[in-house]
Structure 1
Amino acid sequence: MWVFYKLLSSIEEPMAFLLSADYLEPCDSAAMKGRVELGQHRQIEHGYGLPDATTLERHRFSLLDPELMTRLLPRFGGNPLAFFKAFLSEDVPEVRQALETGLSSLPDDIEVILSWSNCPSLSAVAAARGIPVVHLEVGPLREPQYRPTAYFDFSGVNGNTEAARRYESDPGVWAQEFDVPELRRAFSSMECEKRGPGNRLGVVLQVEDDSNLISFSNGFDNASLIAKALLENPPELPLIRSHPGSRFQVRQGMAEHDSSATVLDFLAQCNKVVCVNSSVGLEALMLELEVDVEGDASYGFVVREKDPQQRGRKLAYFLLGYLVPYSQVFSADYIRFRLGKPAEEEIAAMHLRGHGLEQDSGGAKVDVRGALRHMARLRIESARADAGAEAVGGPQDGWLLCYRARADDGYADDLSVRPSSLVSDGAASVVKFVLPSGARPEVVRISAPALAGCNTLRAMRWGWGGDARAELSPLFDTHLRLISASCAHFRDGEAMSLLNDGGEVYFEFSVDDLWSSAAARASPGHGVLEFALSHQSADSAIAHELFRIREGILGQVRQAGETSMRDELHRDIDELSSRLQHSSSQIAQTRAEFLESNHDQSVRLNDLSASVEKMCRFFEPLAEVQASQAGRLADMAARIEGRLALLLEAQDLLKKELGDQAEALGKANASIDEMKRVSEMTWRQKYLAKRAKKGQA
């Protein structure tokens, strides 16, 4: 159910939901009593809020038949798990009919169906309607030990995934040398460093009713996994780690039950790990332990690779190319980006941006290895700062957090704090502030060093504790909290960017609700706020924004079907392509003038965005355009980029043109005077000749 809440709180556009009635029960009803999704801790962990009536009114809902499972259970001997297995792996006619009926009552302009599990019946209904299905799931790497990730797969999740097929179809992006420890450092904290070597065989169990075990285990269950470990590892008893969601415990004596506080403590005791399909298997792989995976795991193709060089490449692809940054997977922009079937290199660049690393989209090959090294360095430095080590990076001048106890109050010198830690490499910074004891401000303003170009706030975290080491939780609603900014800004998912000319850089946020949490109310302490920001040149920022605009245009124009409009667009695209080639070489010459008038240009960019949105609303009632037009329509966005570049040189061109016209006008006047003189001379000669002729007569 938390996924339902997450979609409602993350995607602002109207959505349609096909679900059972319990999802729409009031949060205070008896049916919802005891649901962990309602807890504050779960909401903070997964970044969602409980929807109100206004939120629900924006969306459409279709309810499934509540008696469907009851009617089908006898066919499966009354066994709910047998029914669940069929649901996950078979096209069940009754299920397919129920889904077809439900979809028929929803709008017919559905772009994509998002599913949290495999369902062949759903895939069959969607295929008949020409609608793609995307399978989502929380990724195997999660905070605070790892960069949070998610699954995004067109084929399946927990089984029947496309991970191996995608790698084999385009391995060129990953044709570099990747070091497994470096990959581990890029995605994990310092505490995840290899501790061993251990000498135990570790057995990792699954939740008994998990789809991993029900349908995608290749015949293994927890009991058979333990039996295999006992058979292959006599006489020493294996170390068995139960899943925290399991209803059962392993009895001591038949095997040794692991009671370690964390997975990392468990893995520190092992030299080999066996599992069906567990995220612990991936963690063991990153720690360079021997791993056996018996089920249909998405990372199984990495485990089966015995060549160290190829395994490093496949692991790099899985971590960065296949797994999606958690902040992106619930973004409508990201989902539409993937629906466009981008190349693997484009996906890698997008994921790097999701992890806070900007990638130049100017055509250069994505330097995945260099980016991973940068991620590893920032990850280590951030962990050192969190542990209280001396801050690294540049000076703290220019960083300041001001706060107001009440929104109506003004800022004062005594209501500001300097960073308690700062990790910076010049292009990206992670800065942490600790508020005075007991301070619970309603509004805060973070001021960054004044740098011309694009200053982007990528993430914001908060916590409450006795000192700067308080455990921090991510905020996924920063765009809703934003009150003001120092200059014109735009948003890309949860990231917010300012285009400025080197003046003051600040973001102002509402934070009063944070201090009403149970932790903040229960004990005295300090509020802690952490911000991740990055800086890039203004032209790169505009290119990034134009990419976002282009994707929005394509998403709407795909619905256009009028032949005359398509023909006109094709003509415009051809014209724009040629003009773009001519004008791209002049961008560098106008960059200096552009930076001087950056603020005015950013306002113009916002106006352009508004115009594009009006255009999108005009395209909405039109029919769906043929898929073959997508590539050509992409060139239309390139024409917009060309026109924007031409605007930057318009003033110089106009001055030159006026000068040329003045010079031409002077030459024209001189020509006219000469013509008059010649004309008068000719007329006089004719007159004298005529008189002379008459005299002779």
Structure 2
Amino acid sequence: MFVPFVFNMSTFDEAPYLWWFYMGLDFAKRHHSAIIAQEIYCTTPPATFSAKGRKEAFDKAYVENWGYNLPQNRDLQIERIYSIPDQLLDKIVVDKGSISDAFCYLLMQPDERLVDFFSELIQKIETDCKEPIEAFITLLHLPSLSVAAEKNNIPVIHFEMGCWRKPKYINTSFWDTENLLGGATVEKRWNRFCREQKERPFPVFSKKECLALLLRKENLHYLKLFDRKPTKKMGVALGYVNYETFACKTHLNDSEILYRVRKKYGLQNMLVRRHFGDPYGGQYPRYASAMEPKGRSTLEFIADCETVVSLVSGTGIEAMLLDRKAITLLPSPSYFVSGHEIEREGLCAGEDFLSFFAFCYLIPWECLMNIDYMRWRLTNPTEREIYYKHIEFYFEKKQLPKELILQEAGNRLQGMLEAQDYKMGKS
């Protein structure tokens, strides 16, 4: 039994992980599993959120993008919903002095009260459901859950939307049994990938071939951006104005990035892109003249920049796929192959690493809540097996000839494009 876990104490919105709760609830319904979440998710009818304009509860197009069915009020009546008591969290808030301090504290270290609660809840769920918990699935790394899970030999799967996603790309997802914002999985798995590759070589895709496979068919024209000459020295990919998962570790934020880039390169040599989902709506008036024009894609933003800098954004890896350099300032999946100082040169990973990252480390979004896939991954398959499984999935999804997979990097692009009825033409 796989158990979705929903937790977030940010106050920018009521129930900020509502989409993840409904996605996990839909999974629990279909697979007769359990789900753990804070009280507000477990007790508030979807109709109430719908009346408040929350598209997670009523917008079919939005719901379809995430891959779950529209929730119904009766869904909250299933027996396998387990809530994290507000009373328990309120005590931690009182102890720490504020919600923000309490949230940052819980993101950094286990709390004995929560660890005990989760340990008891694990026993209760397994008793109620008469089956063991095979893994937790969570969007946020919570040390208290990880400690309780480890005591019971239960892995914790951490996920997030991948660097490549709709509407321009096929949807991908991170899938990691360590903290996405502090673990060392990428480096460890990359080293294992290299060892396996040395023992018995398997195909590496060129950057353009990666794009040809990851871009949605109707967006293949963005391949032409690969050869565009940058017009700006530095692009700044902004995140949320305030994000506790960063704030709990450092005061470094987007304002300082902007200040340092301006100081180093000048306002005329920088381009700034706001995070499309930033709930705070950061404005940064001092940098208004450097802001990305509305209506342009992230791909166009990247193509105009020699280097892209961010706190942890996956935009850095996307930039490398367009042969641009990246600077990532905080530990995250892209940190391992990026530059780490604004005042120094950025880095661009090679085709072998990007093939690994795109087709081995990241997973197809459709695999995220697939029980057979999760069980298979928890058997610790080789990197070769994971790599081929993902590549074959994408080739089948795009109906491309699988014999192209075994061709050398750079030699399969034309065949991949022809199979998608696209001609490159002139830039």
Q: Normalising to structure 1: TM-score of the pair?
A: 0.49
Counterpart secondary structure, 1:150: strand
Deviations 1:525-569, CA, capped at 9 Å, x for gaps: xxxxxxxxxxxxxxxxxxxxxxxxxxxxxxxxxxxxxxxxxxxxx
Structure with bigger strand share is: 1
CA 182–100 in structure 1, closer or farther in 2 if over 3 Å, else same: same
Residue of structure 2 aligned with 1:111, choices 116, 134, 140: 134
Do structure 1's residue 273 and structure 2's residue 293 form an aligned pair? Answer: no
After TM superposition, give the deviation of residue 287 of structure 1 in Å. 0.8
SS of residue paired to 1:97 = helix
Cα distance in 1 for residues equivalent to 2:50 and 2:114 = 25
2:107 is aligned with 1:88:
yes
Q: Which residue matches 1:233?
A: 265
Match of 1:345 among 384, 393, 402: 384
Q: Give aligned-pair identity as a percent.
A: 21
Structure 1 residue aligned with 2:353: 314
CA–CA distance in 2 between the matches of 1:356 and 1:367?
A: 9
**Post-superposition offset of 1:340:** 0.9
- Cα 1:260–1:282, aligned 2, differ >3 Å: closer, same or farther? farther
2:167 match: secondary structure: coil
Residue type of the partner of 2:53?
Answer: G
Which position in structure 1 is the counterpart of 2:293? 259
Change (3 A) 1:349 1:35: same
Alignment match of 2:212 (pick from 185, 207, 223)? 185
Rounded to whole Å, the distance in 2 between the matches of 1:178 and 1:307 is 22
Give the counterpart letter for 1:155 in structure 2.
E
2:153 matches 1:146 = no
CA displacement 1:578-613 (0-9 Å, x = unmatched): xxxxxxxxxxxxxxxxxxxxxxxxxxxxxxxxxxxx
What residue identity is the alignment partner of 2:41? Y
What is the CA-CA distance between 1:66 and the residue it aligns to?
1.1
Instruction: Name the amino acid aligned to 2:141.
Output: N
User: Which residue of 163, 185, 190 maps to 2:186?
Assistant: 163
Q: Deviations over 1:85-126 (max 9, x none)?
A: 222221122332332343333125111111111111111000
Map of 1:72 onto structure 2? 92
Residue in 1 that maps onto 2:60 = 40
Match of 1:303 among 326, 338, 341: 338
Q: Kindly tell me: are residues 53 and 140 of structure 1, through their superposed partners in 2, closer, same or farther at Cα, counting changes over 3 Å?
A: same
Distance 1:334 1:375 in 2: 29
Q: How does 1:622-641 map to 2 (within 5 A)?
A: none
Aligned partner of 1:259: which letter? P
Question: What SS does the aligned partner of 1:114 have?
Answer: strand
Q: 2:419, 2:405 → 1: CA distance? A: 21
Shift of 1:46: 1.4
- Of stretches 228-237 and 116-125 in structure 1, the one that deviates more from structure 2 is 228-237
* Distance (whole Å) between structure 2 residues aligned to residue 51 and residue 16 of structure 1: 16
Counterparts of 1:41 and 1:129, CA distance in 2: 39
1:291 is paired with a residue of what secondary structure?
Answer: strand
Q: Does 1:332 align with 2:352?
A: no
Give 1:132 shift: 1.1
1:5 aligns with 2:12: no
C-alpha separation between the residues in 1 aligned to 2:189 and 2:241? 30
Structure 2 counterpart SS, 1:239: strand
Flag the 1:205–1:282 CA change in 2: closer, same or farther, 3 A: same
Give the whole-Å Cα distance in 2 for the aligned partners of 1:22 and 1:371. Answer: 50
Residue identity matched to 1:86: Y
Q: Distance in 1 between matches of 2:141 and 2:414?
A: 34
Matches within 5 A, 1:393-408: none
Q: Is the 8 A contact 1:238 1:256 kept in 2?
A: yes
Give the drift of 1:263: 1.4
Alignment partners' CA distance in 1, 2:418 and 2:148: 47
SS at match of 1:213: helix
What secondary structure sits across from 1:292 in the alignment? strand
Residue 230 of structure 1 and its aligned partner are, at CA, apart by 1.7
Shift of 1:252: 4.6
Q: Structure 1's 22 and 173: CA in aligned 2 closer, same or farther, altered over 3 A? A: same
Q: Structure 2: any 5+ residue segments left out of the alignment? A: 1-17, 398-403
| Superimposed CA distance per residue, residues 501-532 of structure 1 (whole angstroms, 9 cap, x where no aligned partner) | xxxxxxxxxxxxxxxxxxxxxxxxxxxxxxxx
Q: Which residue matches 1:97?
A: 116
Q: Aligned residue for 1:287?
A: 322
Give the structure 2 partner of residue 429 of structure 1.
Answer: none
Q: Secondary structure at the match of 1:67?
A: helix
Provide closer, same or farther for how the CA distance between residues 243 and 375 of structure 1 changes in structure 2, counting only shifts above 3 A.
same
Give the equivalent residue in structure 2 for 1:202: 235
Match of 1:250 in 2: 284
After superposing the two structures, state which structure 1 stretch, 321-330 or 232-241, moved more.
Answer: 232-241
Q: Which residue does 2:422 correspond to in 1?
A: 384
Give the conservation status (yes or no) of the 8 Å contact 1:21–1:63: yes
2:6 paired residue number: none
Residues in 2 aligned to 1:267 and 1:309: alpha-carbon distance in whole angstroms: 13
Provide Cα deviations, 1:637-660, integer angstroms capped at 9, x if missing partner.
xxxxxxxxxxxxxxxxxxxxxxxx
Distance (Å, rounded) in 1 between the aligned partners of 2:265 and 2:394 = 41
Bigger radius of gyration among the two: 1
Deviation at 1:211, TM superposition (A): 5.2
How many residues are aligned here? 378
Select 1:137's aligned residue among 150, 160, 182.
160
For 1:689, the equivalent position in structure 2 comes to: none
**Superposition deviation, residue 375 in structure 1:** 8.1
Q: Is contact 1:206-1:213 (8 Å) kept?
A: no
- From the superposition, tell whether residues 81 and 353 of structure 1 become closer, same or farther in structure 2 (CA, over 3 Å): farther
Report the residue type matching 2:377 in the other structure.
R
Match of 1:402 in 2: none
Alpha-carbon contact 1:19-1:64 (below 8 Å) kept: yes
- The residue type equivalent to 1:71 in the other structure is K
**Cα RMSD for the two superposed structures:** 3.3
Once the two structures are superposed, what CA deviation does each residue of 1:404-437 show, in whole Å capped at 9, x if it has no partner?
xxxxxxxxxxxxxxxxxxxxxxxxxxxxxxxxxx
Q: Secondary structure at the match of 1:273?
A: strand
Partner SS, residue 220 of structure 1: coil
**Contact kept? 2:206, 2:409, Cα under 8 Å:** no
Contact 2:115 2:148 in 1 (8 A): yes
Alignment gaps of 5+ in structure 1: 359-365, 390-697
Equivalent-residue separation in structure 1 for 2:190 and 2:339 (angstroms): 14
Q: Which has the higher contact order (CA 8 A, sep 6+)?
A: 2
Q: Quote the Cα distance in structure 2 between the aligned partners of 1:307 and 1:147.
A: 27
> 1:32 Cα deviation (Å)?
6.2
What residue identity is the alignment partner of 1:233? Y
Give the aligned residue type for 2:320: L
List per-residue Cα deviations over 1:275-315 (Å, max 9, x = no partner): 11112222211111121111112022233599999722111
TM-score, normalization by structure 2: 0.78
When residues 336 and 374 of structure 1 are mapped into structure 2, their CA distance, relative to the original with a 3 A threshold, is: farther
Quote the Cα distance in structure 1 between the aligned partners of 2:381 and 2:205.
24
Q: For 1:42 and 1:237, how far apart are their aligned partners in 2?
A: 37
